[in-house]
Amino acid sequence: MARVLAVGVDYGTTNASAAVMLREGVDRRLYLLDEWRHDPAHAQHRLTDAQLSARLRAWLDAEHHPRQQGLRPQWIVADPAAASFRVQLHQDHVVTQAADNDVAYGIRTVASLLGAGRLLVSDRCTGWITEDPGYSWDDTATERGEDRPVKTADHSLDAGRYAIATTENLWRPSVPIGRHKFGEAREVDPLTVDSCARSEEDIATQPSREP
């Protein structure tokens, strides 16, 4: 059964804040289904925590799929460093959990899902799609034997990573990703939301097959 597992939230004051919705499909794939984002640099003004909370809550209550209504996440997982924003959400009756922020592990998991064709991205996730090609590793950290990304223009990527890594124990039994070394992820063209819907509906009417 298809289910919305989580919304991952990355929080920024001078940088962008982003939320990405993660869905598990009946076709044994994960989908980044929808995205909310506020970027002060583009909007040319900052929002308070209360204002960000109001906009995020309005997005959560909106429709995220053209054919299905009332989609709500089982979990909302937020940047563990976003203490003030999580307090504000709590005051606004939105319960959040601290996201798993093991960066290297999360990136490897996302890369493995992409490489196995088990993670597809809706064209509603414009921030994630825009940021993905620019993701890079810190060469200085690599020389020290550390896996550390360059922290720039990665807000939607982080939100998606939070949702995927934190809910791994929920989706792992039904979403096989095999053995994929980090760096082997192939490029996956982002799907439209309609394509996501057709994929799930088609697989539901066909005999299940192992990939």
Q: Please report the pLDDT score of residue 18 as a whole number.
A: 97
Q: At what angle do helices 49-61 and 83-91 cross, to 10 degrees?
A: 60
Residue located via tokens 């439209």? 192
Q: Please report the pLDDT score of residue 22 as a whole number.
A: 98
Q: Determine the Cα angle at 94 with ends 28 and 63, to 5°.
A: 55
Q: Please report the pLDDT score of residue 189 as a whole number.
A: 34
Per-residue buried b or exposed e for 7-27, using 16+ beta carbons within 10 Å of the residue's own CB: bbbbbbeebbbbbbbbbbbbb
Chain Cα centroid distance, residue 182? 19
Decide if 158 contacts 10 (C-beta within 8 A): yes
Structural domains in the chain, sorted by start: 3-204 (3.30.420.280)
Per-residue buried b or exposed e for 138-151, using 16+ beta carbons within 10 Å of the residue's own CB: eeeeeeeeeeebee
Sequence-distant (6+) residues with CB within 8 A of 117 are 29, 186, 188, 211
Q: Please report the pLDDT score of residue 196 as a whole number.
A: 36
Quick one: DSSP state of residue 14?
S
Q: For each of the chain's 211 residues, which pLDDT tens digit applies?
A: 479 999 999 999 889 999 999 999 999 999 999 999 999 877 778 899 999 999 999 999 999 987 788 889 999 999 999 999 999 999 999 999 999 999 889 989 999 999 999 999 999 999 999 998 766 666 676 677 766 666 667 899 999 999 999 999 999 999 988 654 433 333 333 333 333 333 333 323 323 333 3
Q: Which helix (H) or strand (E) holds 131?
A: helix 126-131
Sequence-distant (6+) residues with CB within 8 A of 123 are 129, 190, 191, 192, 193
